[in-house]
Every structure is written in structure tokens, then in C-alpha cells.
Amino acid sequence: MFNARSVAVVGASNNERKLGFHVMKSLIEGGYSGSIFPVNPGKGEILGVRSYASLMHVPGTVDLCIISLPAGLVPGIIRDCAEKDVKGIVLITAGFREIEDESGGRLQDEIMDLADKAGIPVIGPNTFGIVNLHAGLNASFTPEFSRVRTGGIRATSRATGATGTGRRASRAPLANWLSVAGRRAVGSGSYDAQ
């Protein structure tokens, strides 16, 4: 996931008030050199990048899918990820177990069962995302991480609110940042920063 060669952003948007806008901005401003595939059925372009009506319309391979949609739509996207043979998912969407409602818990169980059956690792739900500065991959909704000095520090956070640290961490030489706010993530030791 940290070395994805292609990224789909499901829920990409031109609207600055949407997280999908900030995810796209993070990838673009971060200098990501892989393929970026915005997915939004109502738009032809997102931030100047050709958009696709669905994940199934994206040509070729998708290594990483970033999901920023309402919680009720996520199971269908996880099924699409399985069919598309996506290698990993960053689930920014909130509205699951963290809302302390039975329906959110059931929905989280459903999407995690779907991902487990497909063998797709998931970071999230309710995460700010992941960052690999060595690869120019800022798969978060925090474009400011793209300005952090690249180094060898790896950081893991359990709190989505920790993204404010990115705004103050420009002097810290980071390599990777991983938020596991939803407590459903690949193990923090299971990735290679380089």
C-alpha cells in the first residue's frame, strides 16, 4: 500500500468542502508520480485529472483505493475493489463502529468481512490516511503533509485529530505516517518505507 503505483479516489470532488477534494489535492501537491484515477459519476474531470464513473470503469490495475463516501455506499465499493483486484484500501469514511450505534457496528462488520474474504488490507475506517514521503504518496486529506521534510521517522497515530501534527511537523524528517483511527489496519510493522 505504501508503494502503490496507482491510486483510485472514490468520492473525488472539485468541491473544497468535501474530503475527496483534499485527498486529490494531497496526491497532486505531494508529487505522486503514479497513476491517479478520480472516481465520481457526475464529473468528467477532478482537479484537471480525467474522472471515471465507477471503479469498474478505471482502466488497468488499481493498487490502492481511497474511499471518501457516505458509509452506506462503502459495501458496494468494497465489492468493486474485490472484483477489480485492488491491493489495499484506505477508508477515510466515518459512520461505523466509532459512532457507538449498532447500525454502524454492523456496517463495519459487513465491510470488514467483505475485505477479509477478498484478502484486501484496509486502513480505517475513519482514518486520515497514509503517507509515504519517499514515494511522494500522500494518501490523506491533509495536503500539508506534502510539505514535511523527508527523512526516516515512521509515525503511527490512533487519532484522526493527530493530523494537526502535520501542520507543525515540517521540521521533523518523516518517512511514513499511518493513522489507525478505526482500529482496523494492516500491522504497523508490515510495510517497507523505501
State what percent of residues in the chain have pLDDT above 90. 54
Longest dimension (CA), the chain: 42
Q: Which residues contact 190 (CB under 8 A, 6 or more apart)?
A: none
pTM above 0.85, yes or no: no
Question: Which CATH number covers residue 146?
Answer: 3.40.50.720
Q: Summarize pLDDT for 4-22 with one digit per residue, the tens.
A: 999 999 999 999 999 999 9
Residue-number span of the structural domain to which 172 is assigned: 1-194
Res. 169 pLDDT band, cuts 50 70 90: very low
Q: Which triple of cell numbers denotes residue 59?
A: 482502466
**Domain total for the chain?**
1
26-85 pLDDT, tens digit each: 999 888 999 999 999 988 999 999 999 999 999 999 999 999 999 999 999 999 999 999
